[in-house]
A and B are shown apart, each in its own frame.
Chain A
Amino acid sequence: MNVEINSLLEGLNDRQREAVLADDAPVLVVAGPGTGKTKTLTVRLAYLLGERHVAPEKLLAVTFTTRAAREMRERLERLVGSQANTVFLGTFHSFCFQLLRAEGHRLDLPQDFGVADRRDQVTIMQRALRRLGQPDSRTAAQRMLHDVSGFRRRRAPVDLPPEDAGLAEVSEAYERQLRKCHLLDFDELLLLGVRLLECCEDIRESMQQRFTHVLVDEYQDVDPVQQQLLRFLAGDRNHLWAVGDGDQAVYAFRGAESEHVLRFEQHYPNGNIITLEQSYRFTPQIAAAASQVIRRNTSRRPLTLNTENASGLPVHVVSFPDEQAEAAWIVRQIEECVGGTSHYQHYKGKVTDTVSRREQSFRDVAVLCRLHALTKPLQEALRNSGIPHRLVGEARFFDKKIVKDVLAYLRVIQNPHDDSSFAHVLNRPPRGIGGQTQAALEAEAEQHGLSLYATLESSVLLSSSQRSTARSLVKVIEDLQGNMEEKSFSQFVAYVADATGLRQWRMDQDLRHENDLLLLRSIAAKFEDVNSGTALRQFLEEATLAAEVDDYDASIDAVSLMTIHAAKGLEFAEVMLCGVEEGSLPLESGDIEEERRLFYVGLTRAKERAHLLHCRSRFVFGTRCEREPSRFLLECDESLKETTVIPDRPRRSKQEPEQLSLLG
């Protein structure tokens, strides 16, 4: 055996090695948190390349996030060098995107289609609803998008007779509108990818020939559509090697079914199942506590975490009077982790002395929660503290106001007939073209089957001043199109914000927009090696395909504030899991086993120390409610826990004699 491969294998434990060396029967590797899942997968790829001499082009490895794909490629590069570049390593979405860009014409898709982001989807759904004469408010559109998405996933992969004719009609109208703008939405990328493979045997055949080995990360999160895609790709002869953990399946709401992890043997009677239980991530206390809780779930594969890591502190349970106290405590803990952030804290004796320092940096700490809504007081407290932190998951960077504005202009520059983007820029900054005029313009465009952009110049609806405004907007866009090649791409992005008046307008509202703009510019700088047209296309693609969980950038040294969902796949020295209460973890409406998995995922993000926080009262939807600690806290042994109770704030007694005497 090749020496390098040999030394790689020596770094693995027995189970991991078994998984790497598995023969070509379908393999499911059940990998608990911190058990070396990614490592095993990458070494498997290296083994296939180096020892089994599989050509790199024949390997297809799919992940759920571009972050995971990037990490895996970096690791693989370190193992096998440039061979890693020709392995297809990407997300389900990016695979389908490329497939459809190449072969989509077989489904009558335009060659240059773009991908609709959430904002596009809502506007387009509103338009579809309007056409159908249905209520077209934003909320209605958002609700309908949710229903249509569920409907399309259920319907897939085979066209069942629609259970709901109404949804089918809306779905169709919505798709028509999308297509008019040369757009696909996220669901469609997968659905149409599957459809393409389903109806075009030759493409399916050539894909199966091309990829002899299909490897899948996070197998538990594969939904039925993705499942179908995998089946088409792997076919009967190709080799499926999947790694996942049913206990970490937390995407039931997206239609993922961890059933296929449970029933792997049924699907693949000749399949092989290998379980990784030895974790390298956390202390024995965390391993034991997490295992005790997750054991309560009934539908799961047996897996008990163990570790040879050094013993640590017990899991720290903290009880607070309310969310303000919780937020203040968290800030204080973070300061303790780094040993104080200001002279003032030292002066006031607010940080523990040097003996008990924890020697962490900001990036070693994460605050996790079930729902973002719970973190409002904490966000405020962190902002006031000046502690570097970032919100991951919500208010995605690409959803920030000025960023969305600039992106819309860039989309229009790329394709002026992208109505949804054009509608966005039309009155941003304000140009005196109000909502009514815009609606009338849209109707007119609709009537003539033209794009908004094409309608604008000829429209009879506009007053003469509006027409000259419209003309100047068209002029600005044309100028920008002409200007693109003269500047580096990042300069161009900044120039767009200036030339359109966006920057000035947003800055007048809030100086913080400047930050976002600078950040956008610096992201744009990554695309400068190619010509501007290509840069623009790649940049917009990345902006659209960046999924929720991709916001996390490990190179930035800041405390992370994120949902448990967004923290999947990450690890931190110290984790504070907040709102561990009945009603927020588990959520009242949640499936209890899924909620327990979320708790498990949250707890197992911690390497050294886990703090499980609950409040005895919390402000929820406008009312102050009494809260009970989560049942999950009771599901692990007392011996593994250490509890701190922060007492209620002292209430001022109602009768203060001094005051009374003053009044008297």
Chain B
Amino acid sequence: MSFIADLHIHSRYSRAVSKDMVPESLYRWAQLKGITVVGTGDFTHPAWFAELQEKLEPAEPGLYRLKPEFAALVDAEIPASCRADVRFMLTSEISSIYKRHERTRKVHNLIFAPSFSAVANMTDKLVRIGNLHSDGRPILGLDSEDLLRIMLERAPEALFVPAHAWTPHFSVFGANSGFDSLDECFGELSPHIQVIETGLSSDPPMNWRLTQLDGITLISNSDAHSPGKLGREANVLNGDLSFAGIKTAFTSGDPALFLGTIEFFPEEGKYHYDGHRNCQVRLSPEEARTRDNVCPECGKPVTRGVMHRVEMLADQPAGHRSGRALPYWSLIPLVELIAEVRGAGVNTKGVTAAYRQLLADLGNEFGILMNVPIADIEEHGGRLLAIAIQRMREGHVTIAPGYDGEYGTVCLLSQEDRHSHSSQTSLF
């Protein structure tokens, strides 16, 4: 049976993360979204690790579930239509800041671990290297290759995944402090890198343009800092529901085990295009190149986005498919769709209420976005929402691309749509 996994998230012990990122909320929101396996994030943080040990219990091999006494506290808040099993996988992200080949490198890496003891084996070592207390995503002065080595020595069955591989400031291929190849970053250990996370600003086709990624599986996760953002990217799996099953699906990239990824429209990501946020200058890579990558407003170099960086490293034309190409679904979070339909902010009361009602009626969010028949959506959510979802499913989306830390803005409905269908918005 297929299931969805979102493995990169942060706990309330990380900087700029919602206080609500606790095991109970993850359990609840995973059900609302339709996620079966959710990452715990932040396993290096001592207090979070202690909380996980207190609240989780072993389920299938290498996976954990919320203990019933904690689950009982939130079960009532989950609509019957969404209720499902949730499993936790122990995961963490580490920010490595270090010098390699005479340049400062800043790379974020994910580690997925199969057990509390594997985690303890690793933190045993990491605690000597830096402060694990002040941030759930610790900053360590530790070379990515050394981090990988520590993992291989202390928890060989764990999985190492370079995080959001293209973001400019903190990633393995980042324009500002990354590398040009996995080999350059991981040296002799690079054969152990079999999986990378594409991040919000890049989608699989962008990655397929690099021959060096041909043997690499691309995965997607939300990097959620608040429960509502869970699943904005995720993985659709079909293998064994266990740590080893998921690991095999990832490392093999076998399309029978790994059905594909759920993606943001990459243009929506914060670093898709080039530009300067403070100058409100957004440039496509071509535009940036014609301006020598200098901001027309302030004259300083622009922050190069993911698209530009991919084009720098790509050795295949746009449209090339790699050997490991898997299907993917580009989705837009349901609240954003509702917000657009209603012409209101995503955090407004009305949008929240409509979102909840829709889930109660139609089941979890992924179901609504991907599978529920358009007619049912129209019945419960109105004509405009049905149109929006249909267009999204077909990929008919207009997006002003994100740049230099600014999210892109999506547009699915025209004035005309609103005009001709506004009278029919039942619930909305």
Contacts and interface: CB of A to CB of B under 8 A. Distances in A.
Interface of A: 338-344, 346-347, 349, 353-355, 357-364, 383-389, 511-512, 514-515, 518-519, 521-522, 556-558
B291 interface: no
Interface residues of B, number: 41
B98 A386 contact: no
A353 B303 CA distance: 8
A324 B195 CA distance: 44
A339 B125 contact: no
A338 B97 contact: yes
A386 B138 contact: yes
A355 B300 contact: yes
A362 B301 contact: no
Nearest to A355: B301
Given A515-B132, A558-B130, 12 more contacts: A338-B97, A339-B177, A341-B97, A341-B139, A343-B167, A347-B405, A349-B278, A354-B176, A364-B99, A388-B131, A514-B46, A515-B46
Given A361-B104, A388-B140, A511-B47, A343 B170 contact: yes
B104 A346 contact: no
Interface string B100-111: 001110100000
Contacts of B130: 388, 558
Contacts, number: 105
B141 interface: yes
A163 B301 CA distance: 73
Residue from B127, B141, B177, B278 with most neighbouring chain A CB atoms (10 Å): B141
B322 to A, nearest CB: 28
B300 A353 contact: yes
Nearest to A559: B141
Nearest to A494: B124
A359 B104 contact: yes
Contact of A515 (B103, B133, B277, B301): B133
16 contacts: A339-B104, A340-B169, A344-B15, A346-B169, A347-B405, A353-B303, A355-B301, A360-B99, A361-B98, A388-B129, A388-B141, A514-B46, A518-B124, A521-B124, A522-B124, A557-B141
Contacts of B135: 386
A540 B354 CA distance: 66
A383 B131 CA distance: 8
A626 to B, nearest CB: 33
Given A386-B138, A387-B139, A522-B124, A339 B176 contact: yes
Interface string B149-169: 000000000000000000101
B139 A360 contact: no
A357 B168 CA distance: 15
A65 B116 CA distance: 40
A391 to B, nearest CB: 11
Contacts of A358: 104
Interface string B287-316: 000000000000011010000000000000
Contacts of B176: 339, 354
B16 interface: yes
Given A344-B15, A359-B102, A522 B128 contact: yes
Given A346-B169, A354-B301, A518 B139 contact: no
Given A359-B103, A557-B129, A511 B139 contact: no
Interface string B114-149: 000000000111011111111100111110000000
A354 B295 CA distance: 13
Contact of A511 (B50, B95, B123, B277): B50
Contact of A361 (B47, B133, B141, B169): B141
Residue from B106, B127, B129 with most neighbouring chain A CB atoms (10 Å): B127
B125 to A, nearest CB: 7
A522 B125 contact: yes
Given A346-B169, A361-B97, A387-B139, A556 B301 contact: no
Nearest to A553: B128
A511 B46 contact: yes
Contacts of B301: 353-355
